[in-house]
């Protein structure tokens, strides 16, 4: 099955700096990679996703890049703000069959210091 590894496990940045979180996956058939943000005590919420036929996707201050050859994808947050502080999870899945099981990374605790 799929294995997703996420680094770093913790990341501390100053407000206004950029933050980058990286994930690698093992199953070359995986074709969908969502990113979730989870604030303390809250549910995980989708913030951005990327399909395997796309190399990069942006949404305001966040972007995700995908390198299918190297089997890794990254989340980029620019101009970080204190409200970006949360745990971020990457995930990967092959959704070509009848089953649709996301495999999550273990998460990155991002702290944005004012």
Partner 1 sequence: NAGVTQTPKFQVLKTGQSMTLQCAQDMNHNSMYWYRQDPGMGLRLIYYSASEGTTDKGEVPNGYNVSRLNKREFSLRLESAAPSQTSVYFCASSALPSQGNQPQHFGDGTRLSIL
- Binding partner 1 by CB under 8 A: which of 65, 78, 95, 111? 95
Per CB under 8 A, which region of 11-19, 20-28, 31-39, 75-83 contacts partner 1?
31-39
- Binding partner 1 by CB under 8 A: which of 23, 24, 25, 44? 44
Cα torsion 71, 95, 93, 39: sign: positive
DSSP conformational letter for 28: T
92 part of the interface to partner 1, by CB under 8 A: no
What Cα–Cα distance (Å) separates residue 82 from each residue in 14, 27, 72, 79, 114? Answer: 9, 35, 27, 10, 6
- Binding footprint of partner 1 on the chain (CB under 8 A): 6, 9, 31-32, 34, 42-46, 49, 51, 89, 93, 95-102, 104-107
């Amino acid at each position: 099955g799929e294995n997703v590894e996420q680094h770093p496990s913790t990341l501390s940045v100053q407000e206004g700096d950029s933050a980058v979180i990286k994930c690698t996956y093992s199953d070359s058939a995986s074709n969908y990679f969502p990113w979730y943000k989870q604030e303390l005590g809250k549910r995980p919420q989708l913030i951005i996703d990327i399909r395997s036929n796309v190399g990069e996707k942006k949404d305001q201050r966040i972007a995700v890049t995908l390198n299918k050859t190297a089997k890794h994808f990254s989340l980029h947050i620019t101009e970080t703000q204190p409200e970006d502080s949360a745990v971020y999870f990457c995930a990967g899945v092959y959704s070509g069959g009848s089953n649709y099981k996301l495999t999550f990374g273990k998460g990155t605790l991002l702290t944005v210091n004012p």
